[in-house]
Amino acid sequence: MIFEAILGGGGFAAFQYHLRRLLGRDPLEAFYEKPREFYEALEEFFGESGARVTFRILYGKLINLSGFEDLTSDRLFEILMRDEGAAREIIVEMLEEILRRGIT
């Protein structure tokens, strides 16, 4: 699990619990299905600056694991704020590439 690798077991459990409470759904599904909703939950939980840092860390790791070297987490954030559908497509492509590579 990518999130556990980033946050550690206990950090992941706490993260998932609080985001599930805020989102009313599985935060991992929101991560790729509704990335703006996921970001807004991060913002509610961590505040604006904490959400940006968390976004950079999570999506930066996703970018690295997927090998999408031409993309940065800041660029993905800009895309997300402008066009959630385009951001979702990129995120799904990255997840598919990570799975294709056999990274979990």
Q: What is the pLDDT of residues 56-89, one digit of tens each?
A: 988 998 999 999 989 999 999 999 999 999 999 9
Q: Which range marks the domain in which residue 85 is found?
A: 2-101
Written as six digits, the tokens of 64 are 């690295």
Residues near 98 by beta carbon (within 8 Å), at least 6 away in sequence: 2, 62, 65, 66, 104
Sign of the alpha-carbon torsion through 74, 54, 29, 68: positive
pTM score: 0.83
Q: CA–CA separation, 39 vs 41, rounded Å?
A: 5
- Number of domains forming the structure of the chain: 1
Q: What is the pLDDT of residues 1-31, one digit of tens each?
A: 667 777 778 888 888 899 999 999 999 889 8
| Residue bearing tokens 């999506």 | 59
Q: What are phi and psi of 18, to 5 degrees?
A: -70, -40
